[in-house]
Chains A and B, each alone.
Chain A
């Protein structure tokens, strides 16, 4: 029998006021604490008893100055751990220079969840269908992870290790997402397939970043969500198209290659076969849409 819980299990709530305090609480309660930013993923997981109930919830929101979205020409974009999905959508510089991320953020969940949830939280939750992940993969995001021992930077391509799993250590906090300025004249597109236009998980999600040069593919990056244990780059498909003309045949070949790189599962949302076929359709469509934009 399935037990249907409506209430949260018991835990203690800590709201550190500085990052140092948060780090020391996290290592003090190593393995017994769960960080939250917006909490929009964690709260349902706790209510459903889908994860082990932590002894402590450490809420990062009381730490001032972590909700920034900063841009400078040399370093690119920096998104603080507490920047909400909504603030990313509303940021003019994201819309102008990192439009694939703005498109992805605009497709996430609902207005209520976007007001609360963060991009950092979305990738730390690390579901295969994380909507911000393909955009961050094609933008080649670097993630700044801080622990009491120091800090390190991990490329998003090496961040996910499996469903709900990342390289984040027990005592580490993702504090910043860094996006280098995309190549000049690059254009991006994000497409998400699902039965509903909002408030749904993707059956397949695709982000592409194309760098066209007089009809030729100078560079291309393709990333997929919900079709493998983690969000992935489709590097073989990229290689197929790189240095080719952006013509029907090479695009179709790249789309087929991306479909063969996907490792989808069958579940109640879609069969593996359907997902794979939709990767081909959406990659082609996303490339065409990016080129038209």
Chain B
């Protein structure tokens, strides 16, 4: 077993984990934060994307032990109380999903993109979500949602 100390959505955890557990498994199964999804499990689809120390990672490829000392944000960490994050709201307003399975990862990638680049071009948005696969609606509505979120966030910082 391996003792790790990390913060998830601002909450500190001191836990012990088996060394072969992934960060994704610990987030979902130990912490009960099931917003982060497992798609392919091998770093291709981006459904498990979380933000670790400011950067997006595939949590299915990160050992929980590697997250020792890190700050992690998952989809559950975006809303403030009942108020959704502007990116979440934009996905609802613009129909940025159908089944919703890719949405948490998609929104985490969008957040990392907008944090680094508040006014991305369409090309930059496409590149920003190039590690996130949507298998139902396609990307048009998702890109529209991210554009709208960028606009709203700039209007109301």
Main secondary structure of the interface of B (DSSP, over half): loop
List of A residues within 8 angstroms of B65 by Cβ = 13, 15, 59
| Distance in Å: Cβ of B6 to nearest Cβ of chain A | 14
Within 8 A of B (CB), among A1-34: 6-13, 15
How many chain A residues touch B (CB < 8 A): the figure is 29
Min distance, Cβ A58 to any Cβ of chain B, angstroms: 12
> Once the chains bind, are A198 and B127 in contact (CB under 8 Å)?
yes
Is A111 within 8 A of B56, CB to CB?
yes
16 new A-B contacts at CB < 8 Å, known A9-B20, A13-B65: A8-B20, A12-B19, A13-B20, A15-B65, A43-B62, A61-B66, A109-B43, A111-B56, A111-B128, A113-B43, A116-B57, A116-B58, A116-B62, A198-B130, A199-B44, A199-B131
A53: nearest residue on chain B (CB-CB)?
B20
Q: Is B49 an interface residue when CB atoms closer than 8 A count as contact?
A: yes
How far is B20's CA from A12's CA once the two chains are assembled, in angstroms? Answer: 7
List the B side residues contacting A59 at CB < 8 Å.
63, 65-66
- Please name all residues of chain A whose beta carbon is closer than 8 Å to the beta carbon of B20 when the two chains form the complex: 7-11, 13
**Per a CB cutoff under 8 Å, which of B61, B63, B68, B133 touches A44?**
B61
Given contacts A8-B22, A13-B63, A111 and B43 within 8 Å (CB-CB): no
Q: Which B residues contact A (CB, under 8 angstroms)?
A: 2, 18-22, 25, 38, 41-44, 46, 49, 55-58, 60-63, 65-66, 68, 109, 112, 127-128, 130-133
Q: Determine if A236 is an interface residue (Cβ-Cβ < 8 Å).
A: no
Kindly name the residue among B38, B58, B60, B68 whose own CB sees the greatest number of chain A CB atoms within 10 A: B58
